[in-house]
Structure 1
Amino acid sequence: MSPAVRPGRALAQLVLMEPPATVGAKPGGRIAQLDLQFNPASLRLQKTTEWRRSPSRMAEESALPEFVGSGPRTLSLEVFLDATATHDNSVERAVDKLMKACVPTPASLGRKKPASPWVRFEWGTARTTSFYGVVTSLSATYSLFDVDGKPLRATCALSIEEASVDAQGQNPTSGARTARSTHTVVAGDSLPLLAWREYGDAAAWREIAEANDIDDPLALVPGTELVVPALRGAGAEEE
């Protein structure tokens, strides 16, 4: 893992959101935002394709492969936790927060459709590693303990599998508002940054501003809940 984050460096975070109530819908509002104590030293992005090939009777020949489909992206990363300098002096609470990504949310249980939160890994303006997904695996390895057995350090390995196939970088003005989600403002948020995270286009901040009657995109009050229009492209595909 990398050393402690220097001032001015973008801090990676995991955002937990309420899973969609219906198939094909956008995720709901934010449940939690976990600011990572240390930025990951590496990220592993994987995508698979499936091919089908019929057996050939001729030993010297090989049948042509037939494309079946493309699998989702999977992001794998390690999160390093160190509680030796924190007040509670234990990493168990931080690990518990990560574990919440693997259990059904109370709202989904209330709908009688149990589902774990949707997760989005965000790190500055990175796009290829920032997508809606679900945690498919999570393991925590404790490596340092207090005299009473309390864990002080841990390395958590997790895999996030893509759950949405929205086109990245699509011009949101070419679509129509078909659904809405919410976002709770935290320190450092701005409408251009939120538009980049949601649409892949910082210039689309006006869509969010209009939905919330905001005049100044940079003056956001932490704790304010914003409505984020979910846009679906209706125009031609990008070349």
Structure 2
Amino acid sequence: MSPAVRASRARAQLTLKEPPTAVGAKPGGVIARLNLQFNPSTLQLGKTTEWRRTPSRMAGESALPEFVGSGPRTLSLDVFLDATARHDDSVERAVETLMKACVPTPTSLGRKKPASPWVRFEWGTARSTSFDGVLSNLSVSYTLFDVDGTPLRATCSLSIEEASVGPAGQNPTSGARTARRTHTVVAGDSLAMLAWREYGDATVWRVIAEANDIDDPIALVPGSEVVVPAVRGGYDGEAS
């Protein structure tokens, strides 16, 4: 391969941004950017869909599945770090950058709305694997150390879960709510989780609670159906 071709090769990178301040808003400023030393050898992209079936009384028949909704995209990849040529702390600094994506940002804590940074993986012109998301899993394996114990090589396995929000102007706390869908509760569900999936903001779970006359946002009965209102109107950034 010629030097010109090698020089033009696209390099993958991870960008951490401030989380949005409101539903429908875009991520804030860049917190950190990690230019990967080595492009990933494998990218695993996944997406789930949720279906509901009404039980059939006849053994030889089955009801048509009803589409309930689709889950977010998830992207999994391994990031390889190597500092053997430099013998510095670049491996640990890169790991610390990734760790920042697992905790709330100081700015969000100051707003009293704790939220971790939004993460975006970019590699050349690829679109299917480039989206705003949150880091849902991170594990680090140190595989080589200097004589003083400084890590020289590491493999970071991470998963990014899509966290894109709807277009600006949607308000879960005001506007018409005539359009709606239902969600079948499964073990581990909470109103905050449903609000995050539907509106991109877990703090507006009261919208769903009011639509279903629910007092306890955590105690949901698996198998029961919860009405999830659709939303229209302007967003003021605060839950009612």
TM-score (norm 1): 0.65
Counterpart Cα distance in 1 of 2:165 and 2:44? 19
- Counterpart contact for 1:17–1:31, Cα < 8 Å: yes
Say whether residues 1:154 and 2:154 are aligned partners: yes
Where does the alignment leave 5 or more consecutive residues of structure 2 unmatched? 169-240
1:115 Cα deviation from its structure 2 partner: 0.6
1:117 Cα deviation from its structure 2 partner: 0.5
Per-residue deviation, residues 201-239 of structure 1 (Å, max 9, x unmatched): xxxxxxxxxxxxxxxxxxxxxxxxxxxxxxxxxxxxxxx
- 2:132: which partner in 1? 132
**Residues 1-150 of structure 1 mapped to structure 2, 5 A cutoff:** 6-88=6-88, 91-150=91-150
- Counterpart contact for 2:23–2:165, Cα < 8 Å: no
- Matched residue type, 1:137: N
| CA gap 1:76/1:152 in 2 versus in 1, 3 angstroms | same
Counterpart Cα distance in 2 of 1:34 and 1:164? 21
Q: Secondary structure at the match of 1:27?
A: coil
- Counterpart contact for 1:78–1:158, Cα < 8 Å: yes
- Counterpart contact for 1:139–1:158, Cα < 8 Å: yes
Per-residue deviation, residues 175-208 of structure 1 (Å, max 9, x unmatched): 9xxxxxxxxxxxxxxxxxxxxxxxxxxxxxxxxx
Per-residue deviation, residues 131-152 of structure 1 (Å, max 9, x unmatched): 1111100100111122333221
- Counterpart contact for 1:136–1:159, Cα < 8 Å: yes
Counterpart Cα distance in 1 of 2:38 and 2:90? 16
- Find the structure with the greater CA-based Rg: 2
- Counterpart contact for 1:84–1:90, Cα < 8 Å: no
| CA gap 1:159/1:48 in 2 versus in 1, 3 angstroms | same
- Matched residue type, 1:38: F
Per-residue deviation, residues 26-52 of structure 1 (Å, max 9, x unmatched): 111111111001100111111110001
Stretches (4+) displaced over 6 A: none
| CA gap 1:15/1:89 in 2 versus in 1, 3 angstroms | closer
Counterpart Cα distance in 1 of 2:130 and 2:14? 10
- Counterpart contact for 1:49–1:70, Cα < 8 Å: yes
What is the count of residue pairs matched by the alignment?
Answer: 165
TM-score (norm 2): 0.65
- Counterpart contact for 1:140–1:154, Cα < 8 Å: yes
Counterpart Cα distance in 2 of 1:153 and 1:83? 6
- 2:163: which partner in 1? 163
Counterpart Cα distance in 2 of 1:90 and 1:164? 31
- Counterpart contact for 1:90–1:151, Cα < 8 Å: no
| CA gap 1:166/1:124 in 2 versus in 1, 3 angstroms | farther
- Matched residue type, 2:94: A
- Matched residue type, 1:81: L
1:153 Cα deviation from its structure 2 partner: 0.8
What's the % identity of the aligned pairs?
Answer: 79
- Counterpart contact for 1:13–1:121, Cα < 8 Å: yes
